[in-house]
Amino acid sequence: MIQMMLATIGEAPAASIARQQYAGMARKAMGLAIFASGFAVIATQALQHAVGG
């Protein structure tokens, strides 16, 4: 974390903003992937239960 802070000290403000936006988008994408995989597991289990497996 300290290395990231030191690296951004000499960085242009626009680059810093772009980095923060990218990090936010990456976090949202990861959260969506986790949610989707969890939903898929629950849906699969529900389907197996409905079929009687």
Q: What is the pLDDT of residue 1?
A: 61
Q: Is residue 23 part of a domain?
A: no
DSSP string over 1-53: -HHHHHHHHTS-HHHHHHHHHHHHHHHHHHHHHHHHHHHHHHHHHHHHHHHT-
- Res 13: pLDDT: 79
Tell me if 18 is assigned to some domain: no
How far, in Å, CA of 28 to CA of 52, rounded? 36
Mean pLDDT, rounded, for 9-36:
89
Structural domain for 40, as ranges: 28-53
What mean pLDDT is reported for the chain? 87
44 inside domain: yes
Determine, yes or no, domain membership for 12: no
Give the chain's domain count: 1
Say if residue 20's pLDDT is above 80.
yes
Burial of 8 (0-12, 13-18, 19+ CB in 10 A): middle
Give 19: exposed, middle or buried? Use CB within 10 Å, 0-12, 13-18, 19+.
middle
Domain-located, residue 13: no
